[in-house]
Structure 1
Amino acid sequence: MSLSGAHKAAFRREVTQGGHVYAIRDPDGFPAPAGEDGRRAVPFWSKPTRAQLIVKHVDAYNGFEVVPIPVEEWLSGWMTNLEHDEMMVGVNWAGARATGYDMTPGQVLRWFAELGTEATGEPRVPTAQR
């Protein structure tokens, strides 16, 4: 498994356990850099510490703040908006250039729906463990 593939697997596991995703923003909003294919992606992380590393070590993101987003809100609201804007979803970007795995919003929704169908046959939105 590639490093970005490992980060992708960790993303779903950690988001399901924690109940939040984490974005970064500055006064201008959330970043959405263009990838090699020209499509823009908004990055999200599964733990605040992962996002904080990017803010600390990637010059382009110095001064950004880490923002928690409840996973239910992220799946129901953010995915709809990103799909409408034809944006990709970056998951657990890492490294000196903040790169990693990108997915379409539809892929993200199907990916998280699989969590419920694997166990029960019914789709469900993951929630934080209490």
Structure 2
Amino acid sequence: MDMTDFSSLDPAMQGFLQEAVENGTVYALQDDEGWALTESTEDPDVMVLPLWSSVEGADAAATGEWSIYSSTAIALDELLEDWLPGLQQDGLRVGVNWDAALDGVELPPLELQADLEAVIVAADESGLWDDDDESDGASP
């Protein structure tokens, strides 16, 4: 995926990718018994793990029957190395930045992994992270 492809993505997906990479964290909903899963709208035999790029987004979905859940942070590197491959192996899908009605983009975990990795590479190549290094006020 190049930056042209990125701009053609669903706005919720764009926001998820950008914010997840910038913050290095995503959020899922969890209770004492496990993670919040729901049926796929594309295949009712497949379950989806919704993920959000902000704690506010995750908390907004924790209403109604999902009020038993609370938002839990997942480090981006852990998501890429462990979670997404494991979810793919288990036959699950992921949802990204769903709204409070639990509507939004869902996709195979390895597709999300590839998109996140492409954004990380593009950000590194464009010098996106250089601004953070200069925020300490030191002269170059």
Alignment of 1:1-130 (within 5 A): 5-36=10-41, 37-38=43-44, 39-55=46-62, 58-95=63-100, 97-118=101-122
Amino acid in the other structure paired with 1:99:
D
Amino acid in the other structure paired with 2:54:
K
% identical aligned pairs: 23
Pairwise CA distance, 1:108:
1.0
Partners of 1:15 and 1:103 lie apart in 2 by 16
Uncovered stretches (5+) of structure 2, i.e. residues with no partner: 1-8, 134-140
Cα RMSD for the two superposed structures: 2.1
Uncovered stretches (5+) of structure 1, i.e. residues with no partner: none
Q: Give the length in aligned residue pairs.
A: 118
Q: TM-score with structure 1 length normalisation?
A: 0.81
Pairwise CA distance, 1:118:
3.5
Q: TM-score with structure 2 length normalisation?
A: 0.76
Partners of 2:124 and 2:70 lie apart in 1 by 38
Structure 1 stretches of 4+ moved >4 Å: none
